[in-house]
Amino acid sequence: MEINPNEADISGPTVNDNTAPEGLSFHYAEGAKQLATPWQVSIERAKLVRKCNIHPGKIVDPACGSGIQLAAYCAILGRQGLGIELDEETAKSAAANFRRIAEQGFDSSLLESTIRIGDGTTTDDKEKFSMLHVDPARPRNSRSHSLEEMQPQLPAIFENWKEKLIHDERGPAILLDLSPRLSDKQRLEVESIVEDFWPNIGHTWTWTSRGKGRIDRLSLWIGQLSKPSISRRFIRIPPDMKATPLIIEGNKSSNIEQNRLPRKGDYVTILDSALVESGLADEWLSQILCNQELTWMVVNGRRPQISHQSAIPLSNKEEKILIQASGRVVKLVHTELTEETISTIIAAAREYGFGKLTLRVPLPPEQHPSLQGSIDRQLSARGGPYTGFIVKQPGDSMLLLCVDSS
């Protein structure tokens, strides 16, 4: 059964997406909202695909869900789409979303597209498609999963659509939207599956983040969508909807923690953990730090830290969103951070003139509010002029008091 978006029912309930333009809301089948790609991410991804200049033709998504990403491709590239969805209610939501987006003034190709209720791993389509987008369903609320748990599975999708895709010397244009929780080993397994169907095809892994140190989307751009000699791309989408995303491209570097405690006068910077997770932090730092020597204090976790000799010269606000905090070490306090030692820390902070200090150290969740509250109360009473933060290096009891420079 096929649904024409022109005839889709848009009278049902909708849900707002705070990244969508005013007046644009979306339909979702029950439980599908949490799986949907945010509109802002969908649009920025479509703009990047447009730069790849893929061959003319329709775009196919054999597991289109609520249709947000496919609709964004059609809207930005001016292409018709074929979305296939096994669940009937979800397919009807996708058709309704195509109609709603078209009524916002986007390209008319949305209304010329087709949503098909059926199995995306089988097709008798005779025409060729310019691009394949695949976003397999995966277990919800799971911190990890196997590739076999993705539905539909990649080999079945590739087997069905391989001969339906337009090829050139770089192969077809394929984008796999995958779980951000995939391990390094699982990413290699995905690459191996792709290679089985298209040996030696180019591919670029892409990490997309909207902030808070979280990877919102992990995708593999294949063939015509890949960037030659570039294995990785990091995209930081800023909170300002009108701002241009910050894109960093390169190849993975291995960051090794070094047991060298920063000295007084050195700088400590806490980086965006999503950038570090992508393996491209050194690619960005080599441009920002202008050949400064740096030491990795913390590589993993929510607060990856480096130390360096001079302040980071950030030229624009887009670059600043990749830094959680940056400051110069002005005090070293040899003590653990506990309720019993707070007075020692407060005395050192007052000696320098801190009026506010933010804890940026790993602590049990139940301890952090109490310790931070104690510091806030005691420092605000004296009203020092400086703001800063407290960090420490793993395996060392020394606390570093840094005056903020970011």
SS3 label, residue 105:
coil
For residue 277, tell me if it sits in a domain. yes
pLDDT of residue 126: 85
pTM, 2 dp: 0.91
- Taking CA atoms, 200 is separated from 190, 203, 303, in Å, by 14, 9, 37
Q: Is 269 exposed, middle or buried (0-12, 13-18, 19+ CB in 10 A)?
A: buried
Are 10 and 99 spatial neighbours (Cβ–Cβ below 8 Å)?
yes
Which amino acid, residue 243? A
pLDDT of residue 123: 83
Same domain, 295 and 209: no
SS3 label, residue 142:
coil
Reference 324, options 383, 374, 276, 384; nearest CA is 276
Q: Report residues of the chain scoring pLDDT below 70.
A: 31-35, 140-144, 315-318, 406
Same domain, 211 and 274: no
Same domain, 31 and 161: yes
For residue 202, tell me if it sits in a domain. yes
For residue 255, tell me if it sits in a domain. no
Are 318 and 238 spatial neighbours (Cβ–Cβ below 8 Å)?
yes
Helix axes 68-77, 39-50, angle to 10 degrees: 40
Same domain, 212 and 294: no
pLDDT of residue 406: 64
Same domain, 162 and 115: yes
Q: What tens digit of pLDDT does each residue of 357-368 get?
A: 999 999 998 999
The strands making up 267-271's β-sheet, listed across from edge to edge, are 294-298, 305-308, 267-271, 323-334, 398-404, 386-392, 354-359
Same domain, 141 and 226: yes
For residues 405 and 310, give the distance between their C-alpha atoms in angstroms, rounded to a whole number: 11
**347: its two tokens:** 């005395």
Same domain, 172 and 318: no
Phi, psi of 390 (to 5 degrees): -115, 130
**The dihedral of CA 358, 364, 365, 370: what is its sign?**
negative
For residues 183 and 306, give the distance between their C-alpha atoms in angstroms, rounded to a whole number: 24
For residue 90, tell me if it sits in a domain. yes
For residues 194 and 224, give the distance between their C-alpha atoms in angstroms, rounded to a whole number: 14
Strands 203-209 and 232-236 come out as parallel
Same domain, 312 and 179: no
**Where residue 33 sits, what CATH number does that domain have?**
3.40.50.150
Domains in the chain, number: 2
For residue 77, tell me if it sits in a domain. yes
Same domain, 238 and 301: no
Report CA 57 to chain centroid distance, whole Å.
29
Reference 268, options 183, 146, 390; nearest CA is 390
Strands 58-61 and 81-85 come out as parallel
For residues 183 and 292, give the distance between their C-alpha atoms in angstroms, rounded to a whole number: 31
pLDDT of residue 12: 86
Are 231 and 205 spatial neighbours (Cβ–Cβ below 8 Å)?
yes
**H or E stretch at 71:** helix 68-77
- Bond preceding residue 152 cis, omega within 30 of 0: yes
**The dihedral of CA 370, 372, 375, 380: what is its sign?**
negative
Reference 94, options 102, 103, 85; nearest CA is 85
Are 177 and 190 spatial neighbours (Cβ–Cβ below 8 Å)?
no
For residue 11, tell me if it sits in a domain. yes
Expressed in percent and rounded to 5, the helix, strand and coil fractions of the chain are 30, 25, 45
For residues 270 and 104, give the distance between their C-alpha atoms in angstroms, rounded to a whole number: 41
**352: its two tokens:** 């320098």
pLDDT of residue 317: 67
Range of the domain at 272: 267-404
For residue 256, tell me if it sits in a domain. no
Same domain, 126 and 194: yes
Q: Give the mean pLDDT of the chain.
A: 91
